[in-house]
Structure 1
């Protein structure tokens, strides 16, 4: 069988009869087969009645504008949060530096008092006074 221009012709050598040649329409596919999904309905535009209002807005540009606005708000919030965290960290560092300085001052005063007590003990020993004499 030869397939040409929508008809099937018999390949018999002696028959060039138009009565023997019958016209069979070709299927939509190239190989003459049908998909088998004729039961499936054609795709149509989606009905947007049950969608939320954010998705069902007027146009794509409006939705994109809304998305951009939300993105910029999130970025601003993130920046503010970051600044707040930086401020908290800065205050914490200042407090730690003050505590370290106060501890250093206290330690130096204790060392100074200790050295003063040692010097006083040295002077007492030099003078010849002891615990027994002082009592």
Structure 2
């Protein structure tokens, strides 16, 4: 039986893991286009473009929301003003009826006499 020489350091050892010894380039088929491009400036330009588009979309959405809110506010104010006018008209009619009843009482007319 021949003795197996032992490696004095990790330099002489070989990993038993088959996947560890295979060194190959990264498969880039699943990576997004922005990462595949080799030019850093191109990637940064695309990123900045995407950020600008997103910012514009956000601004447009906020403008639209503000317009809806403004319309809702205007409608609410109109409704409130109409209710106030209606309330004032009813109060005026009520006060007119009270004043008429008061004048009739002063004149001596009641419900029994001269209706």
Q: Which TM-score applies when normalising by structure 2?
A: 0.76
CA RMSD of aligned residues (A): 2.6
Partner of 1:6: none
Corresponding pairs, count: 109
Going by fraction, where is helix more abundant, 1 or 2? Answer: 2
Task: Write the mapping of 1:110-129 to structure 2, written as runs, cut at 5 A.
Answer: 110-129=90-109
Change (3 A) 1:27 1:87: farther
Task: Write the mapping of 1:1-135 to structure 2, written as runs, cut at 5 A.
Answer: 26=7, 29=10, 33-37=13-17, 39-40=18-19, 41-48=21-28, 50-51=29-30, 54-55=33-34, 56-134=36-114
Q: Which TM-score applies when normalising by structure 1?
A: 0.66
Q: CA deviation at 1:117?
A: 0.3
Structure 2: give runs of 5+ residues left out of the alignment. none
Q: 1 CA distance for matches of 2:114 and 2:9?
A: 126
Higher relative contact order (CA 8 A, sep 6+): 1
Structure 1: give runs of 5+ residues left out of the alignment. 1-23
